[in-house]
Chain A
């Protein structure tokens, strides 16, 4: 086991994929000489050359669309979009094209494309660089949506994502890049279809993903100090959702709090809550609770941004409220 950062783990995953298969290439803004705006691809240009680590014009639609075209031809492109906000410039390519071409071609073509992007707030990057729009993408049939929250998932999700014959979107929360964790040299490939119990518990299930996993784990620590045993579930795959694992946990704890950095209305947290209601209603001892981002554009000022985001304290309070 070695200690590594989320960033290094993701870079190692990229390196591994580029070594394993010549059809894999990485393209996006600043991924080459600059090493990526979050330094994920640092050093890869030197190792793999400009034909496989490709700096692009500032044209999100073009490089996502080109990724689709290359994938149609049997390549295995990895497209990096700097932030989820910028992915909106490629929304037509992602939603109207990548997600539909298998369907629209009667199964003649599929799109084995991986799109990575940074998501989330907490770095004072203001409203146009900080949003969490994973829930939007998780709404769309034809896409697989992943949210690696740990070093192990950062290392282990990319290869199976590349092996998926359909498009996969990988959301990397910006606050996680410096997070450290233990990684085995022969870390196993991650199963992309299942949620993971990150902390077992008996009294309440905290459901989180990506950046909010840390929030939920911190809240679970605080709750443990009060004698409340919280189970923390990492959704990991936002589409498809692992409903079975979610329901099994809630049947066991009888309470659920969904922690989501997305906005509350029409959100992924609403979907998770609805599934619990549909499938475990009679196991619940209290209504499902949600802790989400405030429904405002993510503010720039640090104290305002902190106030807008889900905090461990808010999760603890939600648990108190449902026990009352």
Chain B
């Protein structure tokens, strides 16, 4: 029975050979010995985020951050940040808010800035192409992320390659920024390939359709990461609607109790199909809910990619240092429909849309980078060309892509085929042969 020790299919990053996984207690000791990281939420002194990390609009933030960064104080007295005013680095006009100097982590060089803006532009372009492809009958359905590019690219840019993303269905920007070929995403919406292709290689879970279920899976995956003492952080991406699901409450509660390395990112895009945020919760902000779980809660302007990147980086650093989960609310807005099957004009007006269009995340970042001398006409041309090429590539691959074999229907139910499914497959093959003849 060596079989159990073999990794099956694409699963995970765990070791593959029997006996190569040391006992967790030993591994844990090794981690701490090697890194000197004993920090829990109540002891941020040894490796947690540093005080006064230069990403925060200090002038408008809520409760005092304190000397310890995210979780200053004790584990049961979790810190809240940004709940009076969402944390912000760039004003809507692209100018630095000026509360911190420099206005974003010095770690970001010009190339990283250009990459992030290019990813945002590419996301928007491909997103529009996918909406068009659905309208032209090439995709059955699509969920646009228009307006949420900063939140998505900012979080993904803060993650390392070995970290794991558990996305929902509106995460094209995160996937693109993780390096997933958007064709793989398009093929899922076409029905040519389930779950999105090319995700596993980018440490990304299947695209989650059941609202909030990925929060549970991320928490459990993170539990496994901790048992293995692997150097990985798990990021669950959920929305404001998902935060009302009992499953997400259970996931946050359990992740907090076990202090697993999991970042819960809530893109508060303010609409769950037709249900607005005020119907989802009586809480003053979504970040407030972190208080009940005893974990840090942060509210950040999700249309400000630099604030998002900075806050997500802080949170990931905190989690890597053993601080336990963090709840990060990114305030943004779903400018498109819920999916292509939805008509948002039935439940919201133009004024609201115009207000949020004026807060466009790409315009804001572009203005800033132009002012900084990092972005100019040449960069704009290059980004547009990259985005157009990606969109053309998606269109070329998707349009009239062959349907997978109908008898493949039975391939993915069990890893080991059952007699009953073999019988049903044979029956279908006979039926198809009859239809052909």
Q: Do A and B bind each other?
A: yes
Are B219 and A51 in contact (CB-based, < 8 A)?
no
Are B4 and A21 in contact (CB-based, < 8 A)?
yes
Q: Which of A120-161 contact B (CB under 8 A)?
A: 141-142, 144, 159-160
What residues on A are CB-neighbors of B250 within 8 Å? 57, 59, 61-62, 65
Binds B, one of A34-42, A98-106, A206-214: A98-106
Binds A, one of B51-59, B90-98, B370-378, B410-418: B410-418
| Selected A-B contacts with CB under 8 Å, 12 pairs | A22-B19, A70-B220, A71-B11, A73-B221, A93-B216, A93-B247, A97-B210, A103-B194, A106-B193, A107-B412, A110-B9, A165-B9
- State the Cβ distance, A236 to closest chain B Cβ, in Å: 15
**Assuming A62-B251, A97-B213, A165-B416, is B221 touching A72 (CB within 8 A)?**
yes
- State the Cβ distance, B253 to closest chain A Cβ, in Å: 6
Bound Cα distance A93, B224 (Å): 18
Q: Please report B residues at the A interface, Cβ cutoff 8 Å.
A: 1, 3-5, 7-14, 18-19, 21-25, 28, 164, 166, 193-197, 199-200, 205-206, 209-210, 213, 215-225, 227-228, 246-247, 250-251, 253-254, 257-258, 411-416, 418-421
What residues on B are CB-neighbors of A276 within 8 Å? none
- State the Cβ distance, A227 to closest chain B Cβ, in Å: 37
Are B9 and A69 in contact (CB-based, < 8 A)?
no
Interface string of A227-260 (1 = CB under 8 A from B): 0000000000000110110000000000000000
Bound Cα distance A102, B196 (Å): 12
Q: Which 9 A-B pairs give the minimum distances between C-beta atoms?
A: A69-B220, A65-B216, A74-B12, A66-B220, A74-B14, A62-B250, A105-B206, A69-B217, A105-B195
Are B217 and A74 in contact (CB-based, < 8 A)?
no
Bound Cα distance A103, B25 (Å): 35
A300: interface (CB < 8 Å): no
Within the complex, which residue of B196, B216, B257 is in contact with A61, where a contact is CB–CB below 8 Å?
B216
Are A67 and B9 in contact (CB-based, < 8 A)?
no
Bound Cα distance A302, B23 (Å): 47
Bound Cα distance A65, B8 (Å): 20
Bound Cα distance A159, B4 (Å): 9
A297: interface (CB < 8 Å): no
Bound Cα distance A149, B213 (Å): 33
- State the Cβ distance, A293 to closest chain B Cβ, in Å: 26
Interface string of A20-56 (1 = CB under 8 A from B): 1111010000000000000000000000010110101
- State the Cβ distance, B12 to closest chain A Cβ, in Å: 3
**Assuming A65-B219, A75-B227, A107-B411, is B254 touching A22 (CB within 8 A)?**
no
Bound Cα distance A76, B8 (Å): 11
Bound Cα distance A110, B116 (Å): 33
- State the Cβ distance, B316 to closest chain A Cβ, in Å: 18
Are B194 and A73 in contact (CB-based, < 8 A)?
no
Within the complex, which residue of B12, B215, B415 is in contact with A72, where a contact is CB–CB below 8 Å?
B12
Number of A residues contacting the other chain (C-beta, 8 Å)?
A: 59
What residues on B are CB-neighbors of A51 within 8 Å? 24-25, 28, 227
A63: interface (CB < 8 Å): yes
Are B225 and A73 in contact (CB-based, < 8 A)?
yes
Are A56 and B254 in contact (CB-based, < 8 A)?
yes
What residues on A are CB-neighbors of B11 within 8 Å? 71-74, 109-110, 112
What residues on B are CB-neighbors of A163 within 8 Å? 1, 3-4
Bound Cα distance A142, B415 (Å): 9
Interface string of A162-188 (1 = CB under 8 A from B): 111110000000000000000000000
What residues on A are CB-neighbors of B195 within 8 Å? 104-106, 108-109
A292: interface (CB < 8 Å): no
What residues on B are CB-neighbors of A70 within 8 Å? 220-221, 223-224, 227
Interface string of A75-88 (1 = CB under 8 A from B): 11100000000000
Are B8 and A68 in contact (CB-based, < 8 A)?
no
- B28 nearest in chain A by CB position: A51
Bound Cα distance A165, B166 (Å): 21
What residues on B are CB-neighbors of A75 within 8 Å? 12, 14, 224, 227-228
What residues on B are CB-neighbors of A63 within 8 Å? 254
Are B220 and A68 in contact (CB-based, < 8 A)?
yes
**Assuming A74-B13, A141-B413, is B217 touching A59 (CB within 8 A)?**
no
**Assuming A23-B14, A52-B24, is B197 touching A69 (CB within 8 A)?**
no
Are A65 and B220 in contact (CB-based, < 8 A)?
yes
Are B216 and A69 in contact (CB-based, < 8 A)?
yes
- State the Cβ distance, A314 to closest chain B Cβ, in Å: 30
What residues on B are CB-neighbors of A74 within 8 Å? 7, 11-14, 224
- State the Cβ distance, B241 to closest chain A Cβ, in Å: 15
Are B254 and A104 in contact (CB-based, < 8 A)?
no
Bound Cα distance A240, B419 (Å): 8
What residues on B are CB-neighbors of A307 within 8 Å? none
Bound Cα distance A165, B10 (Å): 11
- B226 nearest in chain A by CB position: A51
What residues on B are CB-neighbors of A64 within 8 Å? 216
Are B9 and A92 in contact (CB-based, < 8 A)?
no
- B209 nearest in chain A by CB position: A104
What residues on A are CB-neighbors of B412 within 8 Å? 102-103, 106-107
Are B253 and A69 in contact (CB-based, < 8 A)?
no
Within the complex, which residue of A22, A65, A76, A107 is in contact with B247, where a contact is CB–CB below 8 Å?
A65
Bound Cα distance A117, B244 (Å): 28
Bound Cα distance A51, B27 (Å): 11
5 further interface pairs, Cβ-Cβ under 8 Å (given A62-B251, A109-B200): A69-B216, A71-B11, A104-B206, A105-B194, A110-B415
Are A69 and B210 in contact (CB-based, < 8 A)?
no
A224: interface (CB < 8 Å): no
What residues on A are CB-neighbors of B218 within 8 Å? 69
What residues on A are CB-neighbors of B246 within 8 Å? 61
- B12 nearest in chain A by CB position: A74
A96: interface (CB < 8 Å): yes
Bound Cα distance A65, B250 (Å): 10
Are A108 and B18 in contact (CB-based, < 8 A)?
no
What residues on A are CB-neighbors of B193 within 8 Å? 106
Are A65 and B213 in contact (CB-based, < 8 A)?
yes
A189: interface (CB < 8 Å): yes
Bound Cα distance A68, B196 (Å): 19
